[in-house]
């Protein structure tokens, strides 16, 4: 079995690598410090299993697993965790492999033998059980030959275009195959509906302008692409901006 070890602690990584390499039929084909690096490793070495920590900077294990579960042939995932007993029981109830730190060699061997592929329902259950927010910090865009990760904080807006969603972000644009309604529900704290086909990032929204043709457009800091605001949403956008202004004045 080909295995990628994912942990932000160097000593924990080294120990897991040593334990895995001591098991007959297993080899470590890559290591990563967080979820972003883990996803990159998938493209490079095509592992059968990920041994992945849950709490990591940049992208944690739960979010990485959500992205990995969308792949056509995802590897199995075994979480390594220092969670208390109540959380571990929740993971166990949803048939997700886990190892309690510090990992013991016999437990690792048993978990590797019993590993099952993780699916989207299991990932959702993990988020609910652990109390983590379900909103992603990154979007995972599958492209021929590579996977593109886009930080949500770098996204200016989502705009529906036929069966795709155009994602306009700090480094360009990409196409996403997810319903706009689902994106609105997941990122409702970060994005505002400005049109029946568009969501604008609240963090980047700095104004409204009216075109010579009488249309309204959102002014987004750092974004040069115009984003139309429908007349029915102009009032909501103005109310949001007024609320932000009042909050800034109060501080």
What domains are defined for the chain? 2-130 (3.40.50.2300), 138-250 (2.40.50.1020)
Distances (CA, A) of 104 to 100, 107, 111: 8, 5, 11
Mean pLDDT across the chain: 88
Sheet strand arrangement including 172-176? 172-176, 164-169, 155-161, 198-201, 191-195
Nearest CA-CA partner of 61 in 81, 45, 76: 81
Q: Give the highest mean pLDDT range of 52-61, 108-117, 136-145, 148-157.
A: 148-157
Instruction: Quote the pLDDT of residue 61.
Output: 87
Task: Decide if pLDDT at 116 tops 80.
Answer: no
112 burial class (0-12, 13-18, 19+ CB within 10 angstroms)?
buried
pLDDT in tens, 192-241: 999 999 999 999 999 999 999 999 999 999 999 889 999 999 999 999 99
SS3 state at 222: coil
Cα(160)–Cα(224) distance, rounded to whole angstroms? 18
**pLDDT at 94 (0 to 100):** 43
Residue 9 pLDDT more than 90? yes
Residue indicated by tokens 């690096």: 37
Q: What is the pLDDT of residue 228?
A: 97
pLDDT computed for residue 97 by the predictor: 76
Going by the DSSP 8-state scheme, the letter that residue 120 receives in this structure is H
Q: Dmax of the chain from CA atoms?
A: 72
Strand partners, 228: 217
Res 32 pLDDT > 70: yes
Residue 70: Cβ within 10 Å count: 15
Cβ–Cβ < 8 Å for 199, 157: yes
Please give the pLDDT value at position 171. 94
Q: Between helices 10-21 and 105-114, what is the axis angle to 10°?
A: 70
pTM: 0.77
3-state secondary structure of 246: helix
Provide the pLDDT for residue 152: 97
Task: Return the pLDDT at 248.
Answer: 85
pLDDT tens, 207-220?
999 999 999 999 99
pLDDT tier for residue 131 given thresholds of 50, 70 and 90: low
Q: How far apart are CA 95 and CA 212, in angstroms?
A: 59
Structural contact between residues 38 and 32, judged by C-beta atoms closer than 8 angstroms: yes
- The pLDDT of 169-177, averaged and rounded, is 94
């Amino acid at each position: 079995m080909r295995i990628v070890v994912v942990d932000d602690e160097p000593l924990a990584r080294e120990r897991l690598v040593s334990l895995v390499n001591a098991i007959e039929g297993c080899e470590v084909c890559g290591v990563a410090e967080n979820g972003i690096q883990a996803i990159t490793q998938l493209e490079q070495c095509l592992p059968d299993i990920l041994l992945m920590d849950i709490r990591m900077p940049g992208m944690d294990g739960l979010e990485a697993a959500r992205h990995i579960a969308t792949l056509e042939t995802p590897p199995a995932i075994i979480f390594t965790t220092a969670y208390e007993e109540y959380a571990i029981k929740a993971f166990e109830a949803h048939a997700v492999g886990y190892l309690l730190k510090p990992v013991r060699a016999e437990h690792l061997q048993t978990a590797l033998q019993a590993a099952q592929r993780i699916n989207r329902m299991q990932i959702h259950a993990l988020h609910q059980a652990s109390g983590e927010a379900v909103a992603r910090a990154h979007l995972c865009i599958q492209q021929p030959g590579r996977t593109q990760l886009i930080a949500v904080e770098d996204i200016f807006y989502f705009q529906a275009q036929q069966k795709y969603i155009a994602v306009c972000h700090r480094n360009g644009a990409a196409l996403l195959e997810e319903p706009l309604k689902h994106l609105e529900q997941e990122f409702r704290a970060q994005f505002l509906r400005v049109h029946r086909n568009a969501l604008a990032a609240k963090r980047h929204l700095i104004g409204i302008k009216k075109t010579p043709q009488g249309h309204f457009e959102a002014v987004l800091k750092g974004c040069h692409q115009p984003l139309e605001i429908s007349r029915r949403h102009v009032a909501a956008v103005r109310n949001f901006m007024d609320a932000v202004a009042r909050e800034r004045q109060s501080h």
